[in-house]
Structure 1
Amino acid sequence: MKLLERVIKNAQSYQKRIVLPEGCEPRTLRATEIILKDNIARIILLGNPVEIMKAAGECGVNITGAVLIDPKTDSRRSAYADTMVEIRKSKGLTKEEALEMLNDPLVFAPMMIKSGDADGEIAGAINATGDVLRPAFQFVKTLPGVSVVSGAFLMFVNDPHFGHDGILVFADCAVMPDPDERQLAEIAVTTAKTAKAIVGMEPRVAMLSFSTKGSAQHPNVDKVVNALAIAKELDPQLKIDGELQLDAALMPEVARLKAPDSEVAGRANVLVFPGLEAANIGYKLVQRLANAEAIGPVLQGMAAPINDLSRGCSVSDIVNMVAITSNQAAALFD
């Protein structure tokens, strides 16, 4: 898969510091060995160092080169707690409560990023999505001007005629059940940035609907039309169009009939679905029926790259997501 090879090569040049809070988890340790061996990123493992080394020995892996940090004893705890109190002062968070929270690696990791001691985070192999994301939302927060976090999937459809040489980006497949007009617009803009940062494509964004250019009338269609207008205000240079049915977005012959004046229709490489229900069903249909490779979700809209793994993830999934997170960090910070 040439894209992943390029993403990994880029990550090797960036050498970002990626923190893995699940430091004793076997797949995480096996992925760490590969990442360090292939020089993909600098890895920080959280947990008791003795327990991490014991777990690594039991897995038969070499994690020499990883930085091992115990959140319960690290010297930066007090400074991190002060930052947490400042961020959450309106909620009445005390320093004692913050110090207790920092015992949790899923809290300590975002605070490392917030304080400039790490560039990105990957977790979720043994933790629920909510537990991974809650501290990120509380302390790292979203990008300026962005109010919503969303999840994109990179879809490799094995047909170079679609998207960017067979690669499409779908969103939001993971987070927002029913985005409003503003949120849908933000999802479109941030997904375009993800596509450019990770895939290297020039994004052409289709705002999907069951209608193309007024062929149907419904409040759900109005939402997409209004979101398009907002997205154009947020990023006037973005190539984006809607509302488009899927065939009009992807098939040139259909686009010529339904949207002949569109610079996106028939050539879209970023598909923004009107809601999570459609997006989640859509990516899984393509994955299962077209035998497409789906990589993600890549979380977007955060002020720093923090990505959530599936608890059924493989070692290669973790390696790939570390490389993707490194690319996101480079796009945000470099």
Structure 2
Amino acid sequence: MLLTLDHLTVHLPDTARPVLDDVGLRIAPGEVVGLVGESGSGKSTTAKAALGLLPAGARTSGEVRVDDTDVLALTGEALRRHRASTVAMIHQDPRAALNPVRRIGDFLRERGADRARAAELLAAVGLSDPEHRLRQRPHELSGGMLQRVVIAGALAVRPRLLLADEATSALDVTTQAEILALLRTLRAEQDAGLLFITHDLHLAAAYCDRVYVMYAGRIAEERTAKALFTTPAHPYTRGLLSCSPTLGETSGTLRPIPGRPPSLSDTFPGCPFAPRCPDAEAPCETWRPEPLTLPDGGAAACRRTPVTATRSTP
């Protein structure tokens, strides 16, 4: 496996519960894996764990391995080399990743690309006249063009693993489609794994090979994209699907999930989704969800998962 998270738990100072709680996740070379959930569910922290980029004071248990390297054990120069050569992250807001007073060429050279390589990368991500782009500053480019620059910067280190954190959510639909096609092509050419983080479950189902659904720092469900979209097993997954607009929607209204996601000050002895779940029963308040393997090989952490399911190993 390219990326392996085993029982990863992350505690932050002054919080009542872990930001990540017993998370298990896998990505193989060349695989696109989606990670979906509401804001605050722990998606970005999961991605940053692969970089060893956790907040100061964080206490961790479990394992994070990239190409058999124990990321949580890396420090100093070894950690810097890992971030500069193995894993790269594409952030949601490209303007936040770029220094507004420096040229695009400076940004790419900081990532180890000489001028010829920098121009080659800009051409590879579909930017015209790359030599001219190298001399421009961020304010001279559109949002879609800047996102391509950030992707070029990520590819400059020839990463084995790409982490795309809401990398297309701020883009218009046409540009979004172009960026997704670009990521798929580059992933195939380099046999890199891709963790695709998004709020949009429909987009993840269409774009990814497998999808993990996260809630309150835990994995609620993990399925192939087709199975997740057609036969969701967890009530939270069904809720996300029901409140997402589709072309076939005829009622004119969406069905939001009631209540709000828990904050890090909220604690719960049982299922964290129970207060919002339409199928919750009294035992859900005390039953700690464990991933149960479904007949199709996926997993869901719900007490009401069909009895044919068996306990899953993350």
Q: Same fold (TM over 0.5)?
A: no
**Larger helix proportion of the pair:** 1
TM-score range, shorter chain: 0.3 to 0.5
TM-score (ref. length: structure 1):
0.33
